[in-house]
Amino acid sequence: MDKKKFYITTPIYYPSDKLHIGHTYCTVATDVLARYHRLLGEDVMFLTGTDEHGQKIEDKAREAGVTPKEFVDRIVEGPRGVRDLWKLMNISNDRFIRTTDDYHVKSIQYIFRRLHDNGDIYKGTYKGKYCKPCESFWTESQLKDGKCPDCGREVQDAEEEAYFFRLSKYADKIRDLLENTDFLEPRSRVNEMIRNFIDPGLEDLCVSRTSFSWGVPVDFDPGHVVYVWVDALSNYITALGYGNGRYDDYEKGWWPGVNIVGKEIVRFHSIIWPAMLMSLGEPVPKKCFGHGWLLLDGGKMSKSKGNVVDPYILAEQFGVDALRFFLMRTFPFGSDGNFSNELLIQTINTDLANDLGNLVSRTTAMAGKYFGGTLPAARRYEKERDDELVKLVLGLRDKYEDAMEHYAPHKALEEVFKVVQRANKYIDENTPWTLAKDMEQNGPRLASVLYHLLEATRVCGILLTPFMPVSMDRLFAQIGADASVQTWLSASMWAALPADVHVAKGENLFPRVDTDKALQELEAAVEAAKQAESGVELEPQLAEAVDFDTFCKSDFRVVKVKSCEAVKKSEKLLKFILDDGTGTDRQILSGIRKWYEPEALVGKTLVAIVNLPPRKMMGLESCGMLISAVHKEKGEEVLHLLMVDDAIPAGAKLC
């Protein structure tokens, strides 16, 4: 019989900066769920990846003086990049998609065309607000105090020719999906979506842009690139081969899957994504689970706020499994949680070193000391002393399963640790060291006590495997549990270990952490990482070679600044009126306000490329681009407009 298929995904990460502990939280949780389903014996496909298009990446690459692809390549594939982080964190993804992968790009063009051909995408003019960091469009009424409702930052006016997706057409179906099925969890997110988006009325969604080029081009209208969220959301099916020939897993029944996402992107996953799928005539996801945020000092971590926690530093200091465990044990998965180093150390010391570590080391040490490591077959079971522990162990798998099926890994761990704590208490109740004083009389009882402890440890070990795979392998080796007694089935069985089990005390699984020392070391590691980062600048890269004819097509001209002023409501833009020698004024907008006072530039002789297609910024047309030189000083970007001899007349061609 074919195994049951289970397809689970993380969001694809935006590689504008290195990933932090919040991203790690989301991926570890999804990994734990994927491993749990493998433990159940299901055929699991686990997808993660990176979402690499959009204006933010284009801008960041320009600032760094590299191409957008070079920029994302470094963060995704480079040292301590996204791939390295998932390897370090022992993430067991089966597939990794990058939205710049050719097969994905091809699928996006196919999907866009299909949505267009079936009448759900039409052309119009977009006027609204755009939050650049979030890559999100908002209507005026959705803003919070005039700012982005997700991140609280300034939004920009946006107006351009654009394609729209008929999201409004799907409003009733989406309401039904949210209200009458358990598609979206936790339930509180359903209420948020209905109140904030469905009740006020769904508006059609702008799904293409013309003012930047780093995206998937609309193949039937090349000035447009596909809106980054349409591009990104589709990854869940393009990675299975939808619309491309790279894979054929879509047809093989892997879809629909489970989308695990953070709460701020639930809107995209529970409204826009199902509507797109409905329009394509494809099934909606089985589940969308919106987890909470890890907060630092009560606020969301973000690189721009400078309050991110580096998962590399934590994993190197405390161990990967301890970090994975902490993330899942401490924060209820659907809610926000406050991260702190102190909490991390406390969790390691209490649960792992004291409770689980001690249980394993005491049990294996006693088996070694009293029986040379191999338990004798003669046993004395004492019902009134043993039954409670046995019952608890035998009931554990069901409780754990119930929690995991409800996307509550924290609850599953709570149940496991009830058993770990009960087992430690059982040691104190049965005082093996007293029994050992009279081995002739009490040897069989002592063997029975130790066997009970080993069995309790084994079952807990199985259920902890998705959370701490490497440490549980070591635990199984110490308690003499071979692969046949590490299975899901055997987690509901008592006495699966052989009667004459051989135990081998090994190294402490989870050493106790000295809080003060660890905090000092962490501080030093964070400082060292900062120093290293400020010293590292992106190596200057020479651009891809272009042939001479292509180069000659660029029309560089000397221009004279007739007037220059700041563009209203823009923090970056200056508006130039230029004499380009043609007798007609040329208007160019340039994002250089940070470096120049507009008045100081009037009368200057500059260089511009004049044959770029006009583009609109903040509702104003810009015809060309001024040429500048950019470099970095102490990690800060510095820009110089290229100024040439005033004796050169306007319109002179550079060649």
- Which residues of the chain form contacts with ligand ME8 (CB under 6 A)? 11-14, 22-23, 25-26, 51, 232-233, 235, 261-262, 264-265, 293-294, 300-301
Q: Is the CB of 265 or the CB of 479 nearer to ligand ME8?
A: 265
CA distances from 628 to 326, 489, 608, 625 (A): 49, 67, 9, 9
Q: Write phi, then psi, for 254 (nearest 5 degrees).
A: -80, -25
The nearest distance, CB 579 to ligand ME8, in angstroms, is 44
The nearest distance, CB 197 to ligand ME8, in angstroms, is 17
Q: Which of 112, 132, 127, 159 is nearest to 58 (CA)?
A: 132
The nearest distance, CB 140 to ligand ME8, in angstroms, is 23
The nearest distance, CB 99 to ligand ME8, in angstroms, is 9
Contact by Cβ (8 Å): 209, 158: no
Q: Is the CB of 22 or the CB of 274 nearer to ligand ME8?
A: 22
- Rounded to whole angstroms, the Cα distance separating 281 from 119 reads 13
The nearest distance, CB 422 to ligand ME8, in angstroms, is 32
Q: How many CB atoms lie within 10 A of CB 258?
A: 19
- Rounded to whole angstroms, the Cα distance separating 276 from 280 reads 6
The nearest distance, CB 268 to ligand ME8, in angstroms, is 7
Helices (H), 224-372: 228-233, 235-238, 266-267, 273-280, 311-318, 320-330, 341-347, 358-371
The nearest distance, CB 285 to ligand ME8, in angstroms, is 11
Contact by Cβ (8 Å): 652, 582: no
The nearest distance, CB 51 to ligand ME8, in angstroms, is 3
Q: Write phi, then psi, for 284 (nearest 5 degrees).
A: -80, 160
Q: Is the CB of 261 or the CB of 322 nearer to ligand ME8?
A: 261
DSSP annotation of 349 reads I
- Helices (H) and strands (E) in the chain — how many of each? 22, 24
- Rounded to whole angstroms, the Cα distance separating 380 from 451 reads 11
Two tokens, residue 260: 């695990």
- Rounded to whole angstroms, the Cα distance separating 183 from 168 reads 20
The nearest distance, CB 290 to ligand ME8, in angstroms, is 8
- Rounded to whole angstroms, the Cα distance separating 362 from 158 reads 66
The nearest distance, CB 134 to ligand ME8, in angstroms, is 8
The nearest distance, CB 261 to ligand ME8, in angstroms, is 5
Q: Is the CB of 290 or the CB of 443 nearer to ligand ME8?
A: 290
Q: At what angle do helices 320-330 and 469-479 cross, to 10 degrees?
A: 110
The nearest distance, CB 97 to ligand ME8, in angstroms, is 10
Classify burial at 87, counting beta carbons within 10 Å of its beta carbon; exposed 0-12, middle 13-18, buried 19 or more.
exposed
Contact by Cβ (8 Å): 292, 331: yes
The nearest distance, CB 33 to ligand ME8, in angstroms, is 14
Q: Is the CB of 47 or the CB of 650 nearer to ligand ME8?
A: 47
The nearest distance, CB 47 to ligand ME8, in angstroms, is 11
Helices (H), 545-593: 548-552
Q: Is the CB of 36 or the CB of 333 nearer to ligand ME8?
A: 333
The nearest distance, CB 29 to ligand ME8, in angstroms, is 9
Q: Can you state the percent helix, strand and coil of the chain, rounding each to 5?
A: 45, 20, 35
Please give the residue whose beta carbon sits closest to ligand ME8 in the complex.
262
Contact by Cβ (8 Å): 510, 474: no
Q: Give the CA-trace dihedral at 344, 346, 348, 353, to 10 degrees.
A: 170
Q: Is the CB of 24 or the CB of 490 nearer to ligand ME8?
A: 24
Q: Is the CB of 338 or the CB of 442 nearer to ligand ME8?
A: 338
Q: Is the CB of 330 or the CB of 490 nearer to ligand ME8?
A: 330
Q: Is the CB of 272 or the CB of 588 nearer to ligand ME8?
A: 272
Q: Is the CB of 51 or the CB of 249 nearer to ligand ME8?
A: 51
Helix (H, G, I), strand (E, B) or coil at 128: strand
- Rounded to whole angstroms, the Cα distance separating 134 from 132 reads 5
Q: Write phi, then psi, for 207 (nearest 5 degrees).
A: -125, 20
Contact by Cβ (8 Å): 618, 567: yes
Q: Is the CB of 150 or the CB of 355 nearer to ligand ME8?
A: 150
Q: Is the CB of 98 or the CB of 575 nearer to ligand ME8?
A: 98
Q: Is the CB of 261 or the CB of 359 nearer to ligand ME8?
A: 261
Q: Is the CB of 273 or the CB of 370 nearer to ligand ME8?
A: 273
The nearest distance, CB 34 to ligand ME8, in angstroms, is 16
Q: Is the CB of 334 or the CB of 432 nearer to ligand ME8?
A: 334
Degrees, nearest 5: CA angle 139-141-143: 80
CA distances from 128 to 155, 159, 281 (A): 9, 7, 30
Contact by Cβ (8 Å): 480, 499: no
Contacts (Cβ under 8 Å, ≥6 apart) of 127: 157, 158, 159
